[in-house]
Structure formats: C-alpha cells, structure tokens
Amino acid sequence: MKALFKKSSISFLTILTILLTANNSFAQDPTNQIQEFTVKIDKLGDASWEVSEKMTQSQWESFKQGPLVNDPSITKRNMERSMSAYVIEDFKRDLDEMNRAVKMSFTVKAMATYKGSGHWELKLDSKNPQITKLADNGQMMISNTAINGQLIQQIFKVYFPEGASNIQQSTDSFGKALFTYSSGGGIGTYFSWNNIVGILFIVAAAVTFLKTSKQQKESINIFMNKQITNS
Amino acid sequence: MKKFLLPIILLIAGIGFIAYPFFLPSGDIDLKIQPATVIMPAAYKVYSNPDILGGRYNLFKAVVKNSTSSEIKNLKVQFRVPGLIPDWTDVPAATNLLPGQTAVATCYPVFPQSITERNTTSKEKTEIKITYGNKGNPTERDESFPFDVTSVNDIVFTNMADQDKAYAGDFGENRVLYACMVSSEDPIIKHYAQAVQQKILCGESGAGVGESGEVTDQSIKEKVRVMQGVYNATLLSHMVYSETQSGVSKFGDNTSSTEHIRLPREVVSGNTGLCIELALLHASIYKAAGLNPVIFLVPGHAYPGIKVGNQYIPIESTGIGGVGLGGIMSADQALKKGLEELKTFYEESSKGNPQYQLLDIDQLYSQGFKDMELKPDPTLADETDKILQTWPTCLISALNQPARAAAYASRPRPKPRTRSTEYTTSNWQRGAINTISFSYPGSWPVYPHPVAQIPFLIAAAISPDKTAQVETYHVAAQNPEQAIYYIKMAVNRMGETVQYSETGSENNLTRFNGTTYNNGITLTWVGYFRNGYGGVDGVIVGTTGGGNRAVLNEIVNSIR
C-alpha cells in the first residue's frame, strides 16, 4: 500500500490549484486568492472532496475563459490522468455566478489504507506541514502557493470518520506527514451474525450443561439420601 | 449420558457457526484491471516511478473491491512479464479489506536494463495473480493482458484512448519522454563530449558560473562558447540533417503517431540526425559539460538550448545543413536563428498553445525522469572515433607552452606603410593548389605546412619583409562557405579573430574578403575558393599593411 498512496492530498492541492487558476495567468488583480479544500474520509477509507473558491470580478472574468467552466469533462479527464494511482468518481462542478464562486466535488476511492484490526493510515505528500487541530476528528493546514505568478492561500481541512479515535500525526521514513487513526474493525469486526449465533449456541450449551449437571447432582443427592435413610 | 446430548449438540452447533467460514472458500471480489497498451524501453526507468506525472506511466492499475460480507485478509497482488520480469513480483496493495471497501493497486514495474537492447517492437503479456483469504488455502484470481514493447528508439506520442483525445496537446503528451533520451552518461557520448571540450573548446570549461555560483556575463559567455563548440563539432564532422522513420500505430484503443529516434550515440557515429535527434545530442553534451539543457518543442520541429538563471539561450542545431535545408549556418548564425525562434516560442506558449513545449532536462530529472543506461558499443565507438580523429588538435594549449609563446611573441609587427621596390615581375614563380593556379614573386620564400595545427594550410609564401603572404588551402569541406568557415575556426582556436564576408565570384571561384586580428596585428586578405577533388581548394592573399600593392594586385589577378 505504500507506493499506492504515495501521492496524496498535497498533490491534489497542486493539481486542483492549477485547474482552478487556469487562464488566470493574465489576471492583473493582485488580490490573493483563497481556496478551501474540505476532505471527509468515510469508514471505508474513501474521501469526498469539496473544493471551493470565491473570486473577485476580474478573477471571475478570467476564470470563465478556462476549461473548468467551458469543458468540465476535459477537466475531469485531466484530473484522472494526472492522478492515475487513484480512482476518482462523482465529479461535479457548480458555478455560483451571482457570488462569483465555484465549487468542485468528487470522491477519491481508497485514499486511506486499512491496516487491519481497526487501524487506518492516511499519508500526505507534504513534508512537515503545519497542522492544527480543528475538531476531535478534524485537522487543518494552511499554506501559500504561487501559480502563474499569483499568490494563492490554501486552507485544507481533513475530517476523519465519525467516531475515529487515536488520531495521531507523525512522519514516514521520507519525512512526509502520516496520520494514523482507529475506526471500526477491532473487536467489532468479530460480531458477525455467525459468530453471534455460534456464541449464543455455546452459551446455551453451557447453560444446558450446568442445568443438567445440577439436576443430575440433585438426583444423586436425593438417591444417596434415600439410601442413607433406608439403611 | 443421554442428558448431556443437548448441550453437546448445542456446543457443536455453536462451534460450527463460528468456524464454518474458515471451511468455506472466500467470497468473491470485484476486480477491474486498467492495463497499459504499450511500453517504451527508452523510458523504462520512468515506469518504475509512481511520482512521475501523477503515476501516469504504469503497467496496470488493479481496482479491487471486497464484495463479500466479511473482511478480506491477506490480500496480495502479484504480476510477472515472462521474458522481462519472470518472477512473481508483489504490487504494493492493502492486505485487509472491509466489506464494501475498495483498494487500488498500481503496478510500477522495474524493467531490467536489458530492455534497452530491444530494436524491434514485440508483443508481451502481463500475468496478474491476486490471492486472499486463508493463508493455507487462499482464493486465487488470475488475469492477464497483452501489450506492446517498442524498440528502444521509438517514442509513441500519446497513451490516450482515441475517445478521450480532443486537443492538439493530447496527441503529443509523451513528448516529455524525450528527456529519457538525453544520454549524458552514455560512454560514447561522454567520449564525444570530452573530445569537444579538448579539441574544440581547448580544454576550457564552459560550465562556468561565477565563483560564488552566480550568473555573470563571463559565465554566460562561457556557456555560449560551449554551445557554439558543440555546434562547430557537428559542423566539423560534416554532420548533416536527415529525416528518420515515423508513422502511425494502434495500441489497444489508442491510435498514435510514433517516431523512431536515433539516440545521440547513433547520431554521432552515423554523422546525421533529425532536428529532435540533434537537439538530444546537444542536450546530452551540454549536460555532460555541466550546463542546464533544455529542448524547445514546436510544431514539426525541435531545437536545443540552455537555461541560465531565468533566461534561455537557444541554438538552431539543424543549421549544419543538409538536403532540403539550404545553406550552412555559422555558430553565430545558428544562435541568432535560435533567438528568432525563441521569440515565436514565447508568443505561442504565452497563448497557451500546447504544441509549444519546453523540456527543462534538469527539472524533469528532479521530478524523477531518468536517462536510460546504455552499454558500451564497440562498433559505434569505433565509428565515433574515426570522426573524432578528423578534428584538428586544439592550439590554444600548445600556444600556452613557453617555447610556443615565445615564438608567437616574436612574430613580425607591422611596419609603416612604404612603397617597396623589392618586388619585380621579372622573377615570378608559378604556384598551384590542385585546380587553382596563381603567380607570386620568386623572392618570397615558401613554407610547406607552416602551421602544424592547421593541416589544411598546404603552403605559404611570405614576403621578405613579412608584411604580405599567399597561402594555399585544401579543406575537406563540401563547399567554399564551409571551407572558409573551417579555416576561421582553426584560426580562432589560435587566439586570432577572423571576420569575413562573401563578396562574389570570379572565374568560377568564390571570393571572400576578410581580416584577421591578433595582438595589434591586422591581416587584411582576399581569398578565392572552389570545389576540387576530395574537398575545396583555396588561395588567400593578405597583407598587414605594408607591401607593394601592385604586386599584391598582380598576385590576385593571376589566380585562375
């Protein structure tokens, strides 16, 4: 799974930034752009991405000339080719013309790796990112990047599955950010219907055995008492 | 005992419910394989690197979904390619999958170096084995798919399925793989690059940057000198431009243009190359010399250059000429032409035209692109050696030796221009160089091969006051322009500056007027050249300012 997940969210950030800023290279507006990335990891390790950005009028005018507005299928195709190690599904793009805002959403399959016994791993392709805790199951990092001469601030939020615990951040052998967390699995995975029925049967067997043993013991005692009385 | 029958039955049933999954075959998985249809040996190192271009260059992607109702354990994805990777090899993948969970296993194969020895396209097969479940009795799923392995010289321009192609850039997305053909580590190219540095650049390093690493005017000049040296080397070798094979092939659902690229080692040994091949040769030598090479890709053409700081310096490497390309450019002209082309490149690339693409070799290598390893090839090395032997030995270093330097310093200095009466027409000699004949004063001593470092200078007759001279040349060149250029190069290497221009023709002879300058001495000369047997013959008449003009005119007028 190591190589499989070598590319991760930071690569996405770069690709998405390029997609979003395409055709913005001649925009003269020096105002910084702010892009917000929200990633929600579900219980199967799949990630739903939502990328949103609000623009100034001049940025919007320039953005409207780009492929994301005019040919979103090409954008999807380019994303799939630029991130070949992943499976991307449910690609959607919403434009809010009144507010000069764009929102892109898609699902990345198998972004987090299941290591067994309820343990999960999420690798980021970023060295020593500045990460702050957002909520019990959420982390946030902010970074700045320059694309086509524009300074772009990126706010990246990642939410682990509901009920995820032991969320810890470390680095792998290449110094890249690595999150580990616990979710599902563990003892819970043993409560399959066959195990439950099997355990019920064993418990029933034990109860029946004890009951039978007790009855037999009582019968023996009654018999012994009778023998003693008779003698 | 009968009373314990019920609990025993219940116990056995309970154990049976818990244990029965271990005796059943594992449930099935949903498996989708997305295979590569073609592999290019030139890029064999790229395929092993998942970091390159988002992992685009892989052998296959296996998408495995656990469609059973229980957790899958011990999942393992393996592959092999008989003939290339014969052993079953693991593909990194998740080992556990929860019900409904998906895993993606992408295969980045490590092909052996021997794949670069393939000279023809062949059909290969990838075999995939997926096992999971009980380690002792795993469930196995086998898949396979065919794919093409091209010749090491082939570049398939795109891997994109026909149905996905839309824009011009889609048809050439693999042109970035040209970077893998920049072979600065190839033993033959290294040898060639050393010869360029030794014989053409006279051992000077052109990789120069300032002492603290900053870019200075001097360092830029040095870099440009290297570029010109590489260009001059191809000129000196009589390298010519020529076309190569190209075509269209179908690989699965992808119909793509393909191009058969002669590797830099084949270009120097064959002494001919297409634009991209010459660009790759230049880039290879630049890299070997420590420069930062780039290749400019434009519609139907490619040319090399270097990156210095944030600037690019291009050169038109096809200026060496060839059938259909017209005349031969000097290195200066090739640089000028490159700059003209760069202007167009900037204009088009700023418009977002994807057909104008810059390959920054160092940057690509930092992203993971790598040149292929090539084994020594005695045949190509011999052919290259034969060409290198025709290059003259560099003179700068020889001149730097004390004895030579002293001799050079004692060269005659110009005298005041006086009308000499030394020359008479009564004692004239007839001179000739193959097809060209002329007359010169009999009092002028003749020196055969006066400058060992200029082997094509056959003889020189010098006036007694050392202010005028006649020189005869035989140059292994294709035409007078090339011949005079070679002479200029040789003289340049001696530290002298030569300027000339073609000024017409007389008696089927091409005339050049020029000056040669060194250490305060300016030789003004006129030369006449014509194609002869096995090269070009020429006569040059020059003066440092003294001498009898009438005599000089008589010499010039006698040239036939």
pLDDT in tens, B7-54: 888 888 888 888 776 666 556 789 999 999 999 999 999 999 988 888
CB contact under 8 A, A202 and B95: no
pLDDT at B446: 78
Q: Which helix (H) or strand (E) holds B164?
A: none
Average pLDDT over residues B353-364: 90
Residues of B in contact with A202 (CB under 8 A): 10-11, 14-15, 18
| Residue that wins the pLDDT comparison between B363 and B417 | B363
Residues of B in contact with A65 (CB under 8 A): none
pLDDT bracket for residue B145 (50, 70, 90) = very high
Distance from the Cα of A127 to chain B's closest Cα (Å) equals 15
Please give the Cα distance from A35 to A25 (Å, whole number): 16
| Residue that wins the pLDDT comparison between B86 and B163 | B86
Query: B435 — contact with chain A (CB < 8 Å)?
Result: no
Please give the Cα distance from B523 to B501 (Å, whole number): 15
Query: B4 — contact with chain A (CB < 8 Å)?
Result: yes
Query: B10 — contact with chain A (CB < 8 Å)?
Result: yes
Query: A83 — contact with chain B (CB < 8 Å)?
Result: yes
CB contact under 8 A, B108 and A11: no
Look up the CATH architecture of domain B27-149: Sandwich (2.60)
Query: A98 — contact with chain B (CB < 8 Å)?
Result: no
Residues of A in contact with B54 (CB under 8 A): 7, 11, 15, 81-85
Q: Can you point out the beta strands (E) in B318-443?
A: 357-360, 428-433, 436-441
Look up the CATH architecture of domain B421-558: 3-Layer(aba) Sandwich (3.40)
pLDDT at B343: 93
Residues of A in contact with B70 (CB under 8 A): 192
Distance from the Cα of B217 to chain A's closest Cα (Å) equals 27
CB contact under 8 A, B14 and A201: yes
Say whether pLDDT at B497 is over 90: no
pLDDT at B221: 83
Q: Which amino acid is at B380?
A: L
pLDDT at B401: 40
A46 vs B14, B53, B102: nearest CB? B102
Share of chain B above pLDDT 70, in %: 88
Query: B558 — contact with chain A (CB < 8 Å)?
Result: no
- B143: burial class by Cβ within 10 Å (0-12, 13-18, 19+)? middle
A205 vs B11, B20, B106: nearest CB? B11
B93 vs A4, A109, A212: nearest CB? A4
Contact status, residue B479 vs residue B536, Cβ threshold 8 Å: yes
CA nearest to B2 within chain A: A212
- Candidates B9, B12, B17, partner chain A, best to mutate (most A CBs within 10 A): B17
Residues of A numbered 16-55 whose beta carbons fall under 8 angstroms of chain B's beta carbons: which are they? 23, 43-46
A82 vs B7, B53, B101: nearest CB? B53
Lowest mean pLDDT among A37-46, B406-415, B514-523: B406-415
Helix locations, B351-501, DSSP H: 361-366, 378-389, 396-400, 402-409, 480-493
The 3-class secondary structure across B488-554, one letter per residue, is HHHHHHCCCEEEEEEEEEECCEEEEEEEEEECCEEEEEEEEEEEECCEEEEEEEEECCCCCHHHHHH
Please give the Cα distance from B523 to B552 (Å, whole number): 13
For chains A and B, what is the number of CB pairs under 8 angstroms? 145
Bridge partners (DSSP) listed for residue B526: B513, B541
CA nearest to B62 within chain A: A85
pLDDT bracket for residue B252 (50, 70, 90) = confident
pLDDT in tens, B183-217: 999 999 999 998 888 777 776 554 554 445 566 77
| Predicted interface score ipTM higher than 0.85 | no
Q: Which amino acid is at B164?
A: D
CB contact under 8 A, B3 and A185: no
Query: B54 — contact with chain A (CB < 8 Å)?
Result: yes
- Counting other chains too, the contacts that B504-512 makes at CB distance below 8 Å and 24 or more residues apart are B507/B559, B507/B560, B509/B436, B509/B559, B510/B480, B510/B481, B512/B480, B512/B484
Contact status, residue B234 vs residue B485, Cβ threshold 8 Å: no
Please give the Cα distance from B321 to B144 (Å, whole number): 49
pLDDT at B418: 36
**Average pLDDT taken over every residue of chain B:** 83
Say whether pLDDT at B360 is over 80: yes
pLDDT in tens, B419-476: 333 344 457 877 877 778 888 888 887 777 777 677 788 888 888 877 888 898 988 8
CA nearest to A210 within chain B: B7
Q: What angle do CA B277, B278, B279 make, to 5 degrees?
A: 90
pLDDT at A69: 78
pLDDT at A30: 46
Strand A150-159 vs strand A33-41: parallel, antiparallel, or unpaired? parallel
Three-class DSSP category at A228: helix
Does the predicted model carry a pTM greater than 0.80?
Answer: no
CB contact under 8 A, B106 and A4: yes
CB contact under 8 A, A185 and B95: no
Tell me which residues of chain A have a pLDDT lower than 70.
1-32, 125-129, 146-150, 185-192, 231
Query: B101 — contact with chain A (CB < 8 Å)?
Result: yes
pLDDT at B416: 37
Q: Which of B531, B476, B525, B536 is nearest to B500 (CA)?
A: B525
Residue B415 backbone dihedrals phi, psi, to 5 degrees: -105, 165
Residues of A in contact with B61 (CB under 8 A): 84-85
Query: A78 — contact with chain B (CB < 8 Å)?
Result: no
Residues of B numbered 511-540 whose beta carbons fall under 8 angstroms of chain A's beta carbons: which are they? none
Three-class DSSP category at B430: strand
Query: A205 — contact with chain B (CB < 8 Å)?
Result: yes
Residue ranges covered by each domain of chain B: 27-149, 154-409, 421-558
Residues of A numbered 122-151 whose beta carbons fall under 8 angstroms of chain B's beta carbons: which are they? none
pLDDT at B237: 81
CB contact under 8 A, B17 and A208: no
Helix locations, B131-274, DSSP H: 187-195, 217-236, 264-270
Residues of B numbered 348-377 whose beta carbons fall under 8 angstroms of chain A's beta carbons: which are they? 352
A115 vs B10, B93, B96: nearest CB? B96
pLDDT at A107: 93
CB contact under 8 A, A4 and B92: yes
pLDDT at B27: 60
Contact status, residue B221 vs residue B211, Cβ threshold 8 Å: no
Q: Which helix (H) or strand (E) holds A170?
A: strand A165-171
B14 vs A23, A184, A199: nearest CB? A199
Please give the Cα distance from B293 to B142 (Å, whole number): 46
Common-topology check for domains B27-149 and B421-558: no
Contact status, residue B539 vs residue B527, Cβ threshold 8 Å: yes
Query: B7 — contact with chain A (CB < 8 Å)?
Result: yes
> CA of A191: how far to CAs of B48, B69, B137, in Å?
42, 12, 24
Query: A200 — contact with chain B (CB < 8 Å)?
Result: yes
Residue B228 backbone dihedrals phi, psi, to 5 degrees: -65, -35
Distance from the Cα of A117 to chain B's closest Cα (Å) equals 9
Distance from the Cα of B4 to chain A's closest Cα (Å) equals 6
A197 vs B6, B17, B50: nearest CB? B17
